Homo-oligomer: A and B are copies of this chain.
Amino acid sequence: MNILIKQATVLLPDGTVKETDIAIEDDLIAKVGTIAPDWHIDREINATNKLVTPGLVNTHTHASMTLLRSYADDMQLMDWLQNKIWPIEAKMRKNDIYWGAMLAIAEMIKTGTTTFADMYADMEKVGEAVAETGIRAVLSRGLIGSAPNGNKALEENKELFQTYHNRADGRITVMFGPHAPYTCPPDYIKKVVKEAQSLGAEIHMHLSETIGEVENCVKEYQKSPIALMEELGLFDCGVLAAHCVHVSDEDILIMKKHDVRVAHNPGSNMKLASGIAPITKMLDAGICVGLGTDGASSNNNLDLLEELRLTTLLHKVNQYDPLAIPAAKGIQLATEYGAKAVGLPKVGKIEKGYKADLTLFDMSGTKWCPRHDIVSLLAYSANSSSVDTVLINGKIVLDKGILVTMDEERVMYEANRCAMNLLK
Please list the residues of chain A having a beta carbon within 8 angstroms of any beta carbon in chain B.
67-71, 73-77, 80, 103, 106-107, 110, 267, 269-276, 296, 299-301, 303, 306, 309-310, 312-314, 316-317, 319-324, 326-327, 366-367, 369-374, 376-377, 380-385, 408, 411-412, 415-416, 419-420, 423
Contact = CB atoms under 8 A, between A and B. Distances in A.
Contact of A380 (B269, B300, B323, B416): B300
A251 B80 CA distance: 36
Contacts of A69: 369-370, 372, 377, 381
Given A67-B370, A301-B381, A416-B369, A321 B376 contact: no
Contacts of A370: 67, 69-71, 415-416, 419-420
Copies in the complex: 2
B310 A372 contact: no
A226 B25 CA distance: 64
B380 A70 contact: yes
A271 B367 contact: no
Contact of A366 (B80, B107, B316): B107
A233 to B, nearest CB: 33
Given A74-B323, A76-B323, A322-B74, A300 B376 contact: yes
A320 B76 contact: no
A165 to B, nearest CB: 29
A228 B292 CA distance: 46
B323 A75 contact: yes
A94 to B, nearest CB: 18
B301 A380 contact: yes
The 3 closest A-B pairs by CB, nearest first: A385-B385, A370-B419, A270-B313
A299 B267 CA distance: 18
Most buried by B among A77, A320, A321: A320
A366 B110 contact: yes
Listed residue (A312, A327, A383, A385) with the most chain B CB atoms within 10 angstroms of its CB? A383
B73 A300 contact: no
23 contacts: A67-B370, A70-B370, A70-B371, A70-B373, A70-B374, A70-B377, A70-B380, A73-B376, A74-B327, A77-B322, A107-B366, A107-B367, A270-B313, A270-B314, A270-B316, A272-B316, A276-B317, A301-B382, A306-B309, A314-B317, A366-B411, A369-B412, A372-B419
Contacts of A103: 366, 369
Contacts of A326: 73-74
A319 B320 CA distance: 17
A383 B381 contact: no
Contacts of A320: 273, 275
A316 B381 contact: no
A376 to B, nearest CB: 4
Nearest to A322: B273
A388 to B, nearest CB: 13
